[in-house]
Amino acid sequence: MSVPHKKVYGLIGFPLTHSFSMNYFNNMFESENIDAEYVNFAIPEIDALKNVLSDNPNLAGLNVTIPYKEQVIPYMDEMDDEAALIGAVNVIKIIRGKNGEIRLKGFNSDAMGFQNSIAPLINAKRNRALILGTGGASKAVNRALINLGVEPVYVSRTPADGQLSYDDLTPEVMASHKVIVNCTPLGMYPNVDRCPDIPYDLLTPEHLCYDLIYNPDVTTFMKKSRANGAEVKNGLEMLLLQAFESWNIWNS
């Protein structure tokens, strides 16, 4: 349980060994003399969110990471328009009433963070994208790419209508989709040797391969992409941009 007088913020997900958010926020609180703390809540089931809320009466806001960005939605009392449109929540604002009741409002800062991070790397040839994975983060990426005028398509091991399978990544598809975004957890610490199963030999210097993972800072996906000439970027800048937006949401 937290120190009674401090505002508490935190992160829910499972596992959380990969996350830098706690260090980022606690360093910010220390450097700016903010009387608050940021705590990791590694919950094995989303229903444990109820315990997190009841055990931490000073909790003012939460970030949400894998695998709960979609599962958390039924727990929201209210949804921001953008989060509702995306269909995923990565920021929860906890609104406390005078009688001790709480309301949870869901937001999505991933889309803004990703959009601002990738925008400088988009050009006329990078006008179509492959989104690897179909989880909550991929929905924010899809929204951001559309905002930037890039036509996205999902790639999944079990594709739904309108999506591609990994077997569909033919030379023609790879040549026409110059942006590839890894939204899967493959390659995340501690399983750093894993990567999505795409035809890396079909990549060129015109391709941009963006990995939402930031731990490790150079993933196997990035290494194999760069070895074949592609431009690469990890998700650290996106993390920082969305964290800054989270703070604004919690304090608005």
Residues labelled as active-site residues: 69
Q: Are strands 179-182 and 128-132 parallel, antiparallel or unpaired?
A: parallel
> If you ran DSSP here, which 8-state letter would residue 184 be given?
S
Distance CA 40, CA 56 (A): 12
Distance CA 116, CA 111 (A): 9
Q: At 11, list the tokens.
A: 């992160």
| Other Cβ atoms closer than 10 A to 185 | 19
Cβ atoms of 64 and 92 closer than 8 Å: yes
| Other Cβ atoms closer than 10 A to 115 | 20
By three-state DSSP, how is residue 143 classified? helix
* Closest C-alpha among 141, 30, 14, 130 to residue 65: 14
